[in-house]
A and B are shown apart, each in its own frame.
Chain A
Amino acid sequence: MARAVPASPFESPRESPPEDRDERGDSNSTGSGGSGSCSASLSGSSDDFEPEWLESVQKNGELFYLELSEDEEEVIFQDSSLDVPVVNHVRFCENEPEIIHGRSRKQNEHRLEKLTKILKNKNIVSKQSIKKKATGKCDVHASGPASILKNRSSQKMGVVVQQRYKDVCVYINPKRQSNAETGEQLKLLESLIGIAHQSPWRKAEKHRHSIESRSAEEEKIVVHGLIPGSSAIRSGEILIGDILLAVNDVDVNPENIERVLSCIPGPMQVKLTFETSVFELEGTSQRRCKPTQSSMNNLLKLLWKDHNNDPQFSIQSIPHIIMYLSLKLDSDTSKDEQEILYQYPISEASQKMKSVRGIFLTLCDILENVTGARIISSSMFLYEKLIHVAYWKESDKLLVIGLPAESVPLSQLRNMTADVVRTLIFMYGSLDSAFCQIENVSQMDHFFCLFFQQALQPARLHSNVNPGSPHYDACSALFFYNFPGVRWLSLPQEIKMEIDTALSDLEAADFAELSEDYYNMRRLYTILGSCLFYKGYLISNHLPKEDLTDIALYSRHYCLLPLAAEQRIGQLVIWREVFPQHHLQSCKTSYDGYREPKARYFLLMVGLKHFVLSVLLEAGGCSSKAIGNPGPDCIYVDQVKATILQLDGIDLSIDERLESPSAPLVSCVDWFLPSSRDSLAALPLFSKLQNTSNSRISPASKKMVFGDSTLRTHKTSPLWGSGRSDNVDDNPEGGRGNVNPYAAQSKSPGGFDRSSSLFKITKKKNILPGPFNLGSLKKNPSDMESELYNVMKLTSGPENTLFHYISLETMHGIFITPTHTEVAQLSGTIHPQLIKNFHRCCLSIRSIFQQTMLRENKKTASIRSLESKKANSGLHQVREHGVLFECSPDTWIDQKKPPPPIMYWVVGRLFLDPKPREFYVCFHDSVAEVAVELAFKLSFGLAL
């Protein structure tokens, strides 16, 4: 039933401009002419143009505008043909070509007269609207080329006729030819597209009367030649002798072609319609029709395209479903399937799950009655596959998400469901308003299309761009999808300072048009805070953790962060009203002295190149109240853009930081294969360690390792403040007493003495004020940071045995892990497997930790209510969990001997004090256990 609504994707570049947009934004945009210069120069449009995204603003004020950078666009468009969505906007206005020179004051009128935007939607509504506009506005050419449009729109026309016309898409960039002589008018056709057309008598004759007579040969733009290296020749489909009929469905003739072409504001794709006299076209058109092997990123495709038309995503056969069901039965309404408020997707496999929705409803009801607790999940077999179903009950509605167990383990599915709910609430305020409003249906379809793509085919979305690390992304994608944090990149202090200053300036909003004095009126929005991403890494955050998590979930869901990581953003502007629960809920529970204002919140995200800057705005409170559905305000967009521009130079140093091996160093597991024995053989200690990896480490080597690590503690002790290093000396007595029982086992009392003292330290660590207790994330970069960079290696011994790590700071909502470049540099054949394994193992470890935290919360709750605690409640309080893996190389040259196994640990540790924090490491088997303790200790230094 929901299908009746055309699945018009909400990513509005392709949407027609809303005519009834509220005018307040416009008046601002005209006012921003001065500051607009910086934005204009960046976005690539000619100066004084209104922002390109303005047309994409939807009626409810929302905006999702994404534009690729030029290089990327050209690459994509060269390889793909018609089925590529056109990204850029173009406004053709042949009646008023002077729009280019026109002042911004006039734009409002002109905007309404814009003729076309290219819509590749298959949906009829938009097509008709184009047609109507085309015929309506270009009254001069109404009759002639209308036939072309008719041909194109009615698919049932004869094949022969179809073949006489062909559409060729070329990518053109008006800026490229800016150096070319502009004096000659006709040059545009040659310089832009590369078509040479000679009409020596064109100027002499006046043809005003004969536009409609199609018989006149000289009226047509015949391709007389192609300019080498031009877009036309590169397309390979434009032949000499073809007649150019239309550009983007606007009819052209020698008269108006230059004016039409001159209206192209920036780099974009243009569709040229030719009439061809040659009939050998069949082959060409066939070739064109088959799905091209485009290098276009699947991610982009997904963001832009209507998924249903795309045969490439073959997840239809995998049973998966999302349903929003009503538990209240209204027998009066005669609607079919009235208990289904929303459902996605419609496929045969999911149809089956839909048909058993009675199970979900009944289970939800019964189990709640019997056990007094809400249902979380259920499992079932369907088509020989185990399917997990996660539930989310809210008042009398039930959200159900089902996914196959082989793709998503149950613990993961629960997290994903919770995240989906959180994101939807952030975007729409409540699940009801997300699902139950008919205008949201297409947005929801897109939302869950993205969701299922990420859940079922994470590898597809993160393909091929980074040659070294595709695997890294693919295997970690699922794991990170619901990681309660954002990938953090710690930067040198001076850069950090610069960024923070820029963001603070923006947030202060006390200059230029942002200040209240400028217009002498209340400002529209208060900036609550902002966070800056670079290539998908969070580099600065001025938001509370809850808000940061909300924004991170949103951008992760829409794949914005990986997008930014790949030099793809020409310009990204997102604007929408959001409902941050952090603010809205504390509205209700007012603390004494402070109450959150009754306000509305807006999210503004602006992306340029690798930067994405998210700003959370508040309307109401001390700023003026928002009325209706305000669209993005140009001033704010421009200022945010300007802030990014201000940081433009910084990306070099950030890149440098990304490239340079950071602390702590990681190494590649392949280096530990004996094939690279030459490097290891030189290190006697290490080879010894490796030989004894299965049994115990020999006392001598153990001693050395311990000695080394003790040394290291001393070295790094400045990190922990002066109190820490004293501890090493204070504790030997206690340490010895503690460890004596095991001395018999270890047979190396000396070594263990030291180790036990170290162990003591780690145990004490929680009591001592760590750097974390002292300062918060952003305010205290301090000098520890620079010192940390000097600690290049976490593990002891001559070889670095740390393979991978993740440090999750739940308190700050961030995590730290080796960068993509770091992983890419390691390469190796087994290493990608190892990382994949590591992430999978982290999943299980994390699910155990989550249970622990759940119980912890329950316990504190029960203590508060003075209930008797159960005797065995401590049994399941897991603090640390480790798994030792064995792997052997797949390709082994020496056939006589079996490949030697490599053993490595994956260990996760949960810290509850002072705030929940998780740390996961992966290291080689040969690491002395004490060094592991050290590694965990250093996890405190990782996050700053």
Chain B
Amino acid sequence: MWEEGEDSVILLCLTASSGVPLYCRSRGGSVKQQLPFSVIGSLNGVHMFGSNLDVMLTAACTENTRVVWKVFHNSITLIVLSSDEGTSDFSLGKLLENVFSAMVLVLGLEELVNTRNVERLKKDLKACYKLIDSFLEPSKCSADLTQCVECAVMPSRAILQECLEAFASAAESRFGSLLTGGHVLCATEQWWQLAAQEAMLLMWLVRTLPPHTSRDLPVYLPHGSPTVPHRFLTFQLVPGLEVVLLCGPSPSLQFLADELVKQFWQPLLDLLKASARASPRCLLPSTSLAPGILGVLLINQDQRKSLFTVQPHGTWAEGSEMPLKNRLCALRSFYALVISLYFPSEKSEGTTVPLQEEFQAGFSHHPQHCYVVSATHKAYAVQGRRHQLFLLLKPDVPTFALRSLATSTLQALTTEDSAI
């Protein structure tokens, strides 16, 4: 039944009370690996049986597959089966959280929790498929894992910031942000007050939507306002660069698109074009990283911002070390490893009981640095006072040079630019 050699991820969604399957998605979005209902039913039944006896089943693992169960608000059960080699309980747990938040984002918590008509819910959920499927795909960024907004650093950030603030206030919105290729170029002060997961999801939403010059969508913020929708407005300024706003009922999209966008952004057109071009690197042109570095993930823990790139030296050329896909995969799994074993993870507010094994609780001393040497790469992690840095390096960098390299990189990235 399982196709050999193919990393497959299957996501099941059921109502927790009645066990009615709401949808089943799998990697690639197709239904070629549709599980028979008997399997879906038993996977859910096992979990339901346990919860009747106060035993909450959370995860299972076979030689090639991991399964994770999670119930949200006692109404929606999500089950994921993954045979991806690089996956872990940590990343699957994050995946389920993201998927549920995505459902709330689109439909609102009310409709999910108090389901009156299951058939209607099923129909409504179709609107989320695109967003959900994007979480199942091998990710091109790290935001889903880190739950941090990915930022890009630009030399002319101050000008853009100023313009954005003015534009947002003119649009009677406090939440505005300038996005390029899934990264935040700059955002208003209030935007950073959003829960990190919300900001991440909004960006994710923009990325998965088909390209349009402007959009006006109702969104529910999973943490901020799960029951009352807000208007989410996006405007494409130049190809690859969009400005997004969260507003109330006014002003109208028409007004904004016709009047304000032109008024505020027209003068900066050249700068915007330049910014849109430089996107994959996310770093200041002046920042030069050591040649051995293949990927960088820098997390500001206070502000929940991150800087992520696997092309630190500009565009990736054919024939260089490690394909991008592998770099992404390696850096992501290294992050998951370090966070689940050593570094203190962010404290989630609501849940008191940790759902995963807390391995780091057993340490009497605090892990500060960590590295891994593998056949194809090396990786190094630093826990700073406010930052966490994860580096992916070429295998020919000597192991003893890793530490000095990492500390100097952290210093270079944090001091030169205050954005992170």
Which residues of A are in contact with B by a Cβ distance under 8 Å?
A: 352-353, 355-356, 358-359, 362-363, 366-382, 384, 386, 388, 405-406, 409-410, 695-696, 738-739, 741-742, 745-746, 755-756, 759, 833-834, 836-837, 840-841, 844, 848, 852, 855, 867-868, 870-887, 903, 928-930, 932-933
Contacts and interface: CB of A to CB of B under 8 A. Distances in A.
13 contacts: A352-B54, A359-B57, A366-B43, A371-B65, A386-B355, A844-B342, A867-B5, A871-B326, A879-B374, A883-B369, A884-B370, A885-B366, A886-B365
B326 A872 contact: yes
Contacts of A887: 364-366
A877 B365 contact: no
B407 interface: yes
A379 B89 CA distance: 10
B290 interface: yes
A380 B51 CA distance: 10
Interface stretch (B149-157, B179-187, B398-406): B398-406
Interface residues of B, number: 77
B373 A930 contact: no
B253 interface: no
Contact of A359 (B49, B401, B404, B405): B49
A875 B392 CA distance: 12
A742 B55 contact: no
B396 A738 contact: yes
Interface stretch (B80-88, B213-221, B225-233): B80-88
A742 B398 contact: yes
B58 A381 contact: yes
B55 A745 contact: no
Contacts of B377: 875
B56 interface: yes
Interface of B: 1-2, 5, 35, 39, 42-43, 45-46, 49-50, 53-65, 67, 81, 83, 85-86, 89, 290-292, 323, 325-326, 329-330, 333, 337, 341-342, 353-359, 361-377, 396-401, 403-405, 407-408
Nearest to B338: A883
Contact of A742 (B81, B290, B357, B371): B290
Contacts of B329: 872, 875
A852 B333 CA distance: 14
A880 B372 contact: yes
B35 A841 contact: no
A389 to B, nearest CB: 9
A933 B81 CA distance: 41
Contacts of A380: 50, 55-58
Q: Which of A353, A359, A379 neighbours the largest number of chain B CB atoms within 10 Å of its CB?
A: A379
Given A367-B60, A840-B363, 4 more contacts: A377-B60, A844-B341, A876-B374, A930-B400
Contact of A371 (B2, B363, B376, B398): B2
A746 B404 contact: yes
A352 B365 contact: no
A928 B401 CA distance: 10
A544 B169 CA distance: 79
Contacts of A378: 57, 59-61
A833 B365 contact: yes
A636 B188 CA distance: 86
Contacts of A833: 364-365
A932 B400 CA distance: 8
Contacts of A371: 1-2, 62-65, 81, 83
Contact of A879 (B57, B290, B373): B373
Contact of B5 (A376, A844, A870, A880): A870
Nearest to A852: B374
Contacts, number: 224
Nearest to B35: A370
B401 A742 contact: yes
Contacts of B369: 882-884
A386 B401 CA distance: 40
Contact of A886 (B292, B333, B366): B366
A363 B396 CA distance: 44
Contacts of B291: 741
A248 to B, nearest CB: 49
B53 A355 contact: yes
A755 B255 CA distance: 67
Closest 8 pairs between A and B when the two form their complex, measured CB to CB = A929-B400, A884-B369, A880-B373, A373-B63, A378-B60, A877-B375, A887-B365, A381-B56
Contact of A379 (B2, B59, B407): B59
Contacts of A696: 404, 407-408
Contacts of A366: 39, 42-43, 46
Contacts of A881: 370-373
Contact of B399 (A386, A886, A903, A929): A929
Contacts of A356: 49-50, 53, 55
B400 A883 contact: no
A376 B65 CA distance: 10
Contacts of B400: 755, 759, 928-930, 932-933
B366 A362 contact: no
Contact of B376 (A368, A406, A739, A875): A875
Contacts of B5: 867-868, 870
A746 B403 CA distance: 11
B86 A883 contact: no
Contacts of A409: 357, 359, 362
A882 B377 CA distance: 15
B49 A375 contact: no
A834 B403 CA distance: 22
B2 A372 contact: yes
Contacts of B330: 875
Contact of B86 (A358, A875, A929): A875
A371 B1 CA distance: 7
A359 B399 contact: no
A879 B50 contact: no
Contact of A358 (B49, B81, B366, B398): B49
Nearest to B45: A362
Given A366-B39, A373-B64, A739-B398, A837 B365 contact: yes
Nearest to A372: B2
A868 B4 CA distance: 11
A878 B374 contact: yes
B2 A370 contact: yes
Contacts of A880: 371-373, 399
Contacts of B56: 380-382
Nearest to A931: B400
Contacts of A879: 373-375
A756 B325 CA distance: 31
A380, A871, A903: most-surrounded residue (chain B CB, <10 A) = A380
A929 B353 contact: no
Contacts of B401: 742, 745-746, 929
A887 B368 CA distance: 10
B139 to A, nearest CB: 14
B170 to A, nearest CB: 48
A369 B39 contact: yes
A834 B354 CA distance: 26
Most buried by B among A367, A405, A881: A367
B63 A742 contact: no
Given A884-B369, A887-B365, A759 B86 contact: no
B374 A875 contact: yes
Contacts of A382: 54-56
A830 B1 CA distance: 54
Nearest to A881: B372
